[in-house]
Structure formats: C-alpha cells, structure tokens
Chain A
Amino acid sequence: MAIKVLIVEDNPVARSFLCRVVRESFSDTIIITEAGDLESARRHVGLLDPQRSEPLAEPFKLVLVDLELPDGNGMELLAELARYPATKIVTTLYSDDDHLFPALQCGADGYLLKEDRFEVLVEELQKIVRGQPPLSPAIARRLLSHFRQGPGGMGGLAEPGLAGTSGFQSSRPMPLGRGAPLDHERLTPRESEVLTYLSKGFTIKEIANLMGIKWFTVNDHIKSIYKKLNVSSRAEAAVLASKQGLV
C-alpha cells in the first residue's frame, strides 16, 4: 500500500530536495503531494471543506511543514492538524529553540534542519518516523523550565539570554493559564533526568550508560516528553479558548 506524504514548502528547489529525501528514506511506494502555501495545504488535507463530513479516503501518513510560508506560519497548520493522525515534521532553517519550541508545542513530532546534508536528513527522518525524535540541548533546557514552571509557564522566561530574544518568536500567543499541574503537565523523575542530561549535551547512548538503562528506553522518555508537551500545550490552549468563550 502506498504511503501518502504531504510536503508544505514554498521554495520549489527545497521542495524537490525534500521529495528526494522522503523517497530515499522509505522503501514503500510513496505518493507525494506538494503544497506551496498554507491554503493549498489545507485544501489537500480537507480542512477547507467542512461539508465533506467523511475523511479523505486515504489520509496522509506524513506531513512535512516549513515554518515560514508566504501566507502564514507553518505552526498554524500544525495546530489545525492537532487531531490529524499523521506524523508531523517541521522542516526549517531555524535551529534555535525560540522557533522550534512553539512548533513542538503545536504538536510537531520532530524537526529537520534543511541545511543538513542529504544523508543526515534521511537518517533523521527515518529516526523520527521510527519514534526517535531529536532533542537539542537548548530545547531540552526550554522543556525543563516549561515543565518546572507548571502549565502556562512562559517557556523560557526563566532562561535569561534565551527569552530576551523574543524577536524570533512566532506571532502565536503563548498559552496562558494557571492552576495545579495535572498529570500530563508533569514530568516523571526519569524524564526530568533525561532532559537534564540532554540539556547538558549528552548523547542518548551516554545517557543510557549514565542512567543504567537501554538507549531505546531513553528514547521512550523523549517521545513521552514530546507528547506531554503537546498535550499540555493543547490543554492550555483549550483552557484559554474556553476562558475567551471560543469553545
């Protein structure tokens, strides 16, 4: 059975490059749909046809979204696809946590840096699809302070030097909301430990050694952290939305 992939990228050269990366990464038959902006991406996914109640016959399994698009930010699409059953990956030139963290909050399952070499990209993409998302030290730090501050903690405000650079921040407002942290808003001690090691630049193998666990267990922790971030962010968004009378 063919795997349907959606690539949202405005630069045609980059788009064809990403197509090559996707084809190289999987041995299955690949059907690639390309979109140059958010609007056509929404059309392809079916977000623009509310009257069509039944989902598309064949949903996309994999969505690659660029952040900077002519008609908006890729994060908008990610947020709209919150319940869409696909692996969503951010492809970007911005490797700093100020850009990537909000994208992860919006439900991205991983990120690819477009300037990486072809082989590196292929490997990273395979890893994400297998459930081994990347996590840079900067993002790990951001995650730590996010969860330490509880729900609605303004991300990296506790991290001077990172928070001060809000210029790279998206226009999307950070979710606000206060209250006792729920389970999905808290990290387990193990997860915190993994994050702490990651924030100090340790590799997954080193962390596994240090903690005396298998590397894929470390990986599970990372995946779980990803999920918690997304869930907590979505919960915050919902709280915010209901407060504002949107829901």
Chain B
Amino acid sequence: MRLRGANSPSAAEPATSGYHASTDPGALDSGLIDRSFGGTEPLSRWMGWRLRLLVVSALLGCVAVLLLARWLAEAPHIEASWKVGPHGQLELASSSDPLLKLQEGRTLLGVIGGDNSMAVVDALTLRRSSRWLSDDIERERHRAMHEQLSTALSRDKVKLFFSEGEMVEQALAQRGLGSLGAMFWLLSGLALVLYLVAMVVLLARPTARNLLYVLAALCQAGNLAFIAIESTMELALPLPLPHWNMPVRMSFDLLTAAAAVHASALHPRRIHGAAGVAWLGWLGVATLIVLLGSGQLTGAWWWLQGSVTAMCLVSIGLLTWSHRIEPHPFAIVMRRFGVLAVSSWVLLTLALTAANSVPLVQQQIAAVGPTIWYVFLASLLLLLPFLSKSQQVMREFSLLAAISTVATSLDLLFVAAFSLGQFASLTLALFLSLGLYSGARQWLLNRLRNQNVLTTERMFEKLYRIAREVEAHPERTPALLTQLLRDLFEPMEAVVIDKRSLVTRVTGGGSTLLIPVPELAHSETLEASSIVIRFAHHGRRLFTSEDARLADRVVEQLRRAVAFDKAVEQGRSEERLRLAQDLHDDIGARLLTLMYKAQSPEMENYVRHTLQDLKTLTRGLAAPNHPLSHASAEWKSDLTQRLTAAHISLGWSFSADLDISLTVVQWSALTRVMRELVSNVIAHSQARRVDIEFLLEGDRLDLSVTDNGVGRNPQAWAHGLGLGGVRKRVKQLSGEVEWREVPGGGICCRVCIRQLSERT
C-alpha cells in the first residue's frame, strides 16, 4: 500500500491538472503553459502529510474490510445450501449434517428461533438484495422476511419446518472466515482499491471536480461492499442490513449519477450555466432520496432506474455540448464510457422486467447482472485518473469491456427471452461473443495496421527529408519538427513556444503534449523552445504517455538521421580532400615538369590548361560549396590577370539577386566555361576588349562573353576540345549555349541556364 501511495500521484495528476486549463476556449492560454512547465509534481510533495494521510486512510480501509469480514464470520450458520424449487418454493439443496441430509429436496416452510420468533420463508428469501426487486410490495415482504429470519437465527438453536410435517432442530454455529467465499474477498478488494484511488485523487488536489470524482468512487465502493456482503448470504442477511439495503444503495446510485452530471458540466470544460445544472441535479437527487426513503412514491424501483438513466443521459448530452465548444478528447472518451454504462444499465433494467413472470430466471439475472454492471462501472472509475497514461491499457480495457458487455447482454437476453437454462445461456453467450470478438478484432486490427503501415512509410520518408532540411537550415528545426508532429498526431493546434521543457510529457488531462525541441544541429542562434500540440486527431483522441514516448522516439530518430547524414558528409569530404591532395601533389608536379619541358608554345599552353583544370578540379573537391560572390571575385581577378597579360581589356558586369551557394559541379562548370571562353578569345580573336556579363535573376543565369575580334561565322567553327568542353559543362547544368556574330565585328557567346538550382 505504501508503494502504491508513493507512485500514484503522478498517475492521478493528469486528471486533475487540466481543470483550470480550459477557461479560455480555442487559444492556448498562458496559464496552461505555465502550469505545465510548473512541472510534474515532485515526489517530495508526496513525502509529507499527504503520504501519511494516504497510509492512514489505506490502513483504515483495510481495517474496515477486516472488521466487516469478522462480523460476517460471526453470523449464525446452518450447515446447508438452499435453492429455489420449480414452483417457487425454497428447497434444501444439500447438507453435510446427517439429520438435515434426510430432508434434502424438501421444501422449507418456516424457521422458529430460540426465542420462539417465527419466520415464514419462500423463494423470495433467496433474493440477495431488495435493491433489485422491482415491486414495492415484494421488496417490503423481502425486508420483513429477512428481518424475521435474522432475529430467529440470532439464538443458539433453531427449528426448521419442512414440508410433509418434518421438523429438524438444529444448533447454530459461527460460520468462520473461511466460508465467506472468494467472491466476497474479490469484491471487497476491488472496493478497497477504488477507495484508495479516490483518496489519492482527493489528496493530490482537493478541487471541486476531484471531490465529485471522490464522491462517485466512494459511492461505488460502497455498492461493491454491499454486493460483497450479499454474496456471503445463506438464508438471510444479518441485521440491520435488510432494512438499509435499499435506501443506502439507492442513494449511492443517485449520488453517483448526480456527481456525473455535475462533473460533466465542469470537465473537461466548464459550460455555461454549469452551476444551475449542478444544483438542479443535486436538488432532484435529494428530493428523490427523501421521497423514496420515506416510501411516499409508489414504484420506487422504477423511479430510481428512470432517474439514474435520465441523469446519465443528461451527462452525455453535456459532454457532447462541451466537446462542441472545445474539442477536448476527454469529452469523447467520457461520452463513450457513459453510453456503454447507460446502455447496459437500461438493458439490465429491461431484462429484469422481462423476466418478471419467471421468478427463477429473474433471480438469476438479479444476482449476476448488477454485480457485473457495478464491477464494470468501478473499473471505469478506476481507469479515469489514468486515461492519459497508457493507450495500451485503454485499448485492452475497452475490448474487454465491450466483450463482457456483449456476453452479459446475450446471456441475459437468452435467459430472459428464450427461457434457456442458466448454464446453456451462459455457454451460448460466451461462445457467440468470443466468435464476435475474434472476428471483429481481426477486422479492427487490420484496419488499424493498414493505416499504420502507410503512416510508418510516409513517416520514414518525412523523417529523412526533414533530417536533410534540418541539416541545411538548423534554425528551422522547430518548424520542421512541428510539421512532423502534425502529420503524426493530427492535432488541432500546434505552437512553438520559447520555453524549455525538460522532458516530453502529457498535460491538460491528455489534451496537450509538450515536446522540447532538441538541438539537432550545432547552431548558437537556436533558442531553447518547446512544441505544444493540443487535441490529437482533431480532438478525437487523448494523448497518452505512449504518445509522449513515440514523440521522443521520433525526435531521437531524427537526431540520429541528422548525425548520420553529418557523419556521411564528413567522411565524404575527408575522402574528397585526400583525393584532391593526392591528385594535386602527384599529377600537378608532373604536369608542371611536362609544361616546362614542352617543345612548343602550343604544347605548353595545352599542358597549362590541363594543369589549371586539375587545380579547378581539386579545388572543387576540397571545398564543397562556394558563395557566388566569392567565386565571382575570383573569376574576375583571374580573368583580369590573364587578359591583362594578353593586353586585352575586360569589361566585367556582374549582378545577382541572391548570393547563392554554388555546388562543386556548378562552381567548377562555370569556372571552366568562363576560362575556356576567355582562352578562346585570347588565342584566336585578336580582340582588344572582352565584355563579360553575368546576370542571375530568380534562379535564371545569363552569361555572355562578347569580344570585338576578328571571329566570324561561328556555325562553321570546328568544335574542338575547347568549345566542346564548354558545351559539355553547360549541358551539365541543363543550360544552353550559342555563339553569334556581333554586328560590327566579334563574337558573342551566350550561356543561359533557366533553373540553376535544379541540378546540383
């Protein structure tokens, strides 16, 4: 118990922390963020008086259960089991007592206690609870009969009168703890757990909404305790239970329903006129309790069932309204739960009514149906604080709940409508629902899986694309990551805020997920920030801690992808560098020697060109990208030097709307095109002046090299190595090149690349 208490606060926290979050619809209110960053409640907060109180209440609960068990164990006991006979009479089913064994199969007519009090019994005696008796008179009779029986059994000896005038005198013994039965312990254990969860929620933050939860949970724990006690019944419930059974359990049900109405008016969103609705609910419940308790209403059971149903429907309506105002997925989940609970409640009521004519069947339904329903409701209540914790648990639970509901309803239906035997109907119901389950499950999972496979594939694609983009633009990491998370969770809102959350977590009662933006690429400018996404799947789903883990894993994968890309890039650049150095050192030195030894100026020039090309190549290999402005400065300075040496003047005009970063291919191609064109001019044109225009506008590059030399009729030129090289380089960049005669003498070469950034 201690351990549970220490661990539960963080579990109970999501249900409570989002309560004030939704005062401001739509927009992200700063309060939510602040509170979210206020942090997961530190464990130390739970180490003080809260923990002590929790331990105390846990001990109290345990002591209460043990006292209850002891009290029941002291109850008088006849060593026999009873059953309802075919004509609505009470029969002795079996007994280990030799005297009673003779009476097996006989009808028990009455019991006379030690104080000569007399109790007349019949089949109604075996109905465990007056709560599920629909008829007022029957219920009253049940109460009176049980009170008489309890009184009769309160002395040492009883006389049992059987049909055919038989009478057996029997000494009473205490039944002992061992004979209480597994059902009692299971149900009281569940009640205890529910009570403890209620205490944890209460101690975590005693707000109005939490108090409502606590009230409902305690009521249901009480109901479970009653059912647990009833499960131990042999002939009669000990005093004063027969009297209090109906009023107390009725109050429990009504109070739970009122709490549900009140809570759905407040959570997940406080709706307009919540106070009025709540007051109306509480007033109605109070009136009903008073009226029913004093017996002033006829058809009490119908009033009770009807009003609980009505209030639950109101609650569902409120949740629908609330979701329409603010798409908090909590409302949807709660509504689903509500619909399940109410429909099974209605079904149970109808089944009991339908079986009215067959007391045996009705008794069976009344014994099994309500127990299952209350256990189901208790599990729902238990699950509530942990809704945003685990999707796995949710899914399993909803499957289980759906299947149990189907099985129970079928069972009840078979028993009630077709008058099948208990065993046959149960088997048939289980069989059918298992078949339905296996079929539906396969279909459901297939649907889910198909969707997931698609998203997983797309996810990977996106992940790697974003990794590359993050590498190129580290400052856009938050935006890119937000996009990724949008695709993943389809939230209604996604915002980047300038605060750092240490871990990824779910807040706002499962409506909000906070993800810290990781530092994927090294950049000093990136500020610590977080991404807040709200209302997963367009407000149809709650975030759970699995979603938080998924987000973490996605971020981790992204980080790895970026790191991997970087490592690959670094490896490539090192390799290129080594290659460049080797080329330059070895081939360069040899070419130089060759150049010095050249036999003719043509040969020398040829080798010099080769050497320059080699240098361009190695330079390109060594530096992965070149800013256009730097490259143009070098082009200009290089061309100026060469043209000056040839006594040709240079007119240089350069304009670019964007200082792009040239890739190796672009840089070396443009460098060689320009050098080749200028070499051509120097070698053949006898020009006095060369004009070079470089224009980059909106990704379109226009380069023209115009000389005023003697060149004519470029179409007739033999495209040797030089011009062929130019064509090749321009084609590499997906561009076009043409040579034209200039009026007044000279040649103009135009290079046009329409989409420079297309080929990289």
List A residues at the B interface (Cβ < 8 Å): 11, 13-14, 16-17, 68, 93-96, 114-115, 117, 119-120, 123, 136-138, 141, 161-162, 164-165, 167-168, 199-203
The 10 closest A-B pairs by CB, nearest first: A201-B633, A201-B636, A137-B633, A167-B577, A165-B622, A13-B596, A17-B596, A201-B637, A115-B611, A13-B593
The answer to whether B637 and A136 have CB atoms under 8 Å apart is yes
Residue B309 CB within 8 A of the other chain = no
Q: Which of B160-168, B182-190, B297-305, B579-587 lies at the interface with chain A?
A: B579-587
Which residue on B lies nearest to A119, using beta carbons?
B645
Contacts of B205 in A (CB 8 A): none
**Interface residues in B, total, Cβ within 8 A:** 40
Contacts of B440 in A (CB 8 A): none
The answer to whether A201 and B608 have CB atoms under 8 Å apart is no
Distance, CA A164 to CA B577, complexed state (A): 10
The answer to whether A167 and B589 have CB atoms under 8 Å apart is no
The answer to whether B581 and A164 have CB atoms under 8 Å apart is no
Contacts of A165 in B (CB 8 A): 577, 622-623
Q: Which of B59-67, B349-357, B624-632 lies at the interface with chain A?
A: B624-632
Known contacts A119-B645, A137-B637, A199-B633; A164 and B584 CB within 8 A of each other: no
**Interface of B: prevailing SS:** helix
Residue B373 CB within 8 A of the other chain = no
Contacts of B725 in A (CB 8 A): none
The answer to whether B592 and A93 have CB atoms under 8 Å apart is yes
Which residue on B lies nearest to A96, using beta carbons?
B619
- How near does chain A come to B115, taking the closest CB pair, in angstroms? 104
Cross-interface CB contact of B629 among A114, A119, A200, cutoff 8 Å: A200
Which residue on A lies nearest to B590, using beta carbons?
A11
Distance, CA A200 to CA B654, complexed state (A): 11
The answer to whether A117 and B645 have CB atoms under 8 Å apart is yes
Which residue on A lies nearest to B619, using beta carbons?
A96
Distance, CA A117 to CA B611, complexed state (A): 12
Residue B597 CB within 8 A of the other chain = yes
Cross-interface CB contact of B584 among A16, A93, A117, A119, cutoff 8 Å: A93
The answer to whether B622 and A167 have CB atoms under 8 Å apart is yes
Distance, CA A123 to CA B625, complexed state (A): 33
The answer to whether B580 and A167 have CB atoms under 8 Å apart is yes
Contacts of B619 in A (CB 8 A): 96
The answer to whether A167 and B578 have CB atoms under 8 Å apart is yes
Distance, CA A137 to CA B635, complexed state (A): 9
- How near does chain A come to B628, taking the closest CB pair, in angstroms? 12
- How near does chain A come to B638, taking the closest CB pair, in angstroms? 8
Distance, CA A115 to CA B594, complexed state (A): 11
- How near does chain B come to A151, taking the closest CB pair, in angstroms? 23
Query: Could you show 24 A-B contacts with beta carbons less than 8 Å apart?
Result: A11-B593, A13-B593, A68-B589, A93-B589, A95-B615, A96-B619, A117-B645, A119-B645, A120-B641, A136-B634, A137-B633, A137-B637, A138-B630, A141-B630, A161-B623, A161-B626, A167-B578, A167-B622, A168-B581, A168-B622, A201-B633, A201-B637, A203-B637, A203-B640
Distance, CA A161 to CA B47, complexed state (A): 57
Within 8 A of A (CB), among B639-675: 640-641, 645, 652, 661
The answer to whether B589 and A13 have CB atoms under 8 Å apart is no
- How near does chain B come to A113, taking the closest CB pair, in angstroms? 9
Which residue on B lies nearest to A10, using beta carbons?
B589
The answer to whether B625 and A161 have CB atoms under 8 Å apart is yes
Contacts of B623 in A (CB 8 A): 161-162, 164-165
Contacts of A138 in B (CB 8 A): 630, 633-634
Contacts of A117 in B (CB 8 A): 604, 608, 645
Cross-interface CB contact of A115 among B612, B634, B640, B661, cutoff 8 Å: B612
